[in-house]
Structure 1
Amino acid sequence: MPEHIPAVELDEIDYESLGGGSLVSNLLAGAFAGIMEHTVMYPIDAIKTRMQIMNPSPSAMYNGIAHAAGKISATEGVRSLWRGIASVAVGAGPAHAIYFATYESVKHNLGGNIGNEHHPFVAGFAGACATTASDALMNPFDVVKQRMQVHGSTYKSIGDCAKTVYRLEGLKAFYISYPTTLAMTIPFTAIQFAAYDSLSKFFNPRRGYDPMSHCLSGGLAGAVAASVTTPLDVIKTLLQTRGTARDERIRNCKGLFDAAKIIHEREGMRGFMRGLQPRIVTTMPSTAICWTAYEMAKFYLIRNSAESSRAS
C-alpha cells in the first residue's frame, strides 16, 4: 500500500457519503468532463485516426506520433490537426452528461455507493450501461469528426460534412459502426470504471475528494482499457471512414466482421494494433482529465447544493 495521498477537505463535507449526487449535478459535471477530455488531446486523436487508415496515399503515411505531427503541420498546416473539433465539442457535452448520469444512477441503484466498500463489478456494469446510452448520441458526431480528420478532407464545416455524408451514403453511414463502437466501448468502459474504482481505493482509501488520486487513477485506468480495446478501435475507424477510401472493397465493407476480415487478410494480426501508441498517449491524459474534471465539478456542485440547503 503506497503512502496515503491526503484528501482535500472543504467545509467538512464528506464527499463519498453524498453518494452519486443529484441528476443535475451529474449531468453538468459529466458535460464539463466530456468537453475537457475530448478537446485537450484532440490533435493526438487526429494523428491516431490518420495512422489507422488502411491503404493511405504515400503522402499520408506516418512513422510515429512525432513524424506524423511534423509532416501534417509542414504540408497541411498546424490547424489541420484541429479539423473536426467542433463536432466533438458539440457532441461530447450532451453525450457525457448522459454517460455520467447513467453511470451514477445505475451504480447507486445497485448499491455501489454504500459505505466505503469496494465495488469494481458494480462500477464496471454501470459503466457499460453508461456507454451504451451515450454512444447512441455520440456516434454520428464521431463519424463526422473522423471524416474531417482524414488526409485530403475537403469538408468546409461539420454541417457540410454531415449533409454530404447523408446525401451520398444515407443515415446508415452514421450508425454502421455503432455495433463495433459498443463492442469496443462496453469492455473499454467496464475495464476503465472497474480499474478506476480499484485504483481509487488503492491510492485514496478514504475516498475523499483528492484531485491527485483522481488524476492518477483515471490515467492508469484509461491506459489499461485503451491497450486492450485497440483492435476494435482500428475496425471502427475503417467503418467510419470507409466512404473516403479509394479501395472498392473497403468502401463496400458491411460491418464489424467484414472489416476484421479485410484487416487480417491484408496486414495480419499486427494490423489490429495500428495506432496503439497514439491511442494510449491520447487516452491516458484524456481519462485523467475526464475523471479529475468530473470529480471536481461534482464536488463543487454538491458542495454548493449542501451549502444552499444549510442556508435555507
Structure 2
Amino acid sequence: MAIAHHVPASTVDAPSVPFPSDRRTPLTWSTAPIADAGGHPPTVLEWHSAVPAAPGRLRLFVACDVRDVRRVEAASARTGRPLGSFDIRYADCHQPYDLPLDGDAVRAVADEGVRLALASDPATEPLWIFSGPDAPVERRPSLLLDTEDPSAPAAALHHHLTSIASVQPFGWMEGCVLDALYDLHTTFPADTRAETALRDHLAVYVHGIRLRYEDPRSRPANDRVYGIEATLPFAVVAKRDPRTPRSGWPSTPGTPGPTPMDASRTPRPRPRAATPSLTPWPSSRRPPGTPGYARRPSASSGSAAGG
C-alpha cells in the first residue's frame, strides 16, 4: 500500500503583496501570496534537501478563505516546463490542494524548483498559502512522494491526528477534530498523545480568558461566536471541565460583559414543559379497537380534541 512521504519546500520566495486589512490568517504561521502573473513576479518554491525518485504530488494549503474560483499554474522554475494547474474553488482556510506529478516531473521540481502564478481569469485577488517554516511539515508547500510501507497508514493517521498539524478552522471542523482527540484519549488513557494534542489545539484559540479565532470568511471573531457552527468546540471544553460553564461572552469585540471563560455566569435552566394529561374518550365517539385515551384539550385551544 502506497503512503505519502512529506518533503517540505526549503524556501518560498513570494512577491510583496499586502494582506487584506479586513481579514486575518490563523495562528502565527507565515503565509505567502500567489499573485496574478500579469502584474507580479511568480511565487517560487525550492528544495535543497534530497528528494527520492518517485512519483507523487505537490501540495499547497490555503491560508485565507476563498469565495471564488482561482487557477494556479505551476511550471519548473528554470526551464518553464509546464507541470499542471491547481483548480481552487471556494476553499476554506487550511484546505489542501494537490497537483499529481510523475517521476520525471518530481525530478524537475527537485532540480529546478517550481514557480506558481495565478491565472488572470477568473481570479480577482491573490491566493494566500501557508509557507513555513513555523508551520508543521504537513502544512508547508510539500512534495508528497509515494513510498511502499504496508504497516504505516494507521500509524501515519494517528501521528497526524495527535499533532497540531490536524488543526482546523474554529467551528464545526475543529470541533470534529477535538471530539476525535477526546474520544481517543478517553478510550486509550495510557497513551498521552491525544490529550497533549487536545491541549495544544485548544491553546491555539483559547488564550487565558480570551477567545481568538477567525470566522469562515477569515474575518477576526475574537470573544464572540459567529454562528451556530462555532459552538461545537465548546462541547469538548465542557466535557474536560464541566465545573466551569463557558457562556455569556460579548456579542461584539469590546462589548462589556463576561468573557468566554467566565465562570461567574451559569445559564439559567429552561422551564420544562408540562406533560399533557390524558382523559378517556367517550365510548360513543371511540372507533372500535382504538385506545381509550387521548390528549386533553387545553383551555385556550377553543376546540375539542378528536372532533
Between structures 1 and 2, the one with greater strand share: 2
Shorter-chain-normalised TM-score: which range? under 0.3
Task: Return the structure number with greater relative CO, CA threshold 8 A, min gap 6.
Answer: 1
Q: TM-score, normalised by structure 2?
A: 0.22
Q: TM-score, normalised by structure 1?
A: 0.21
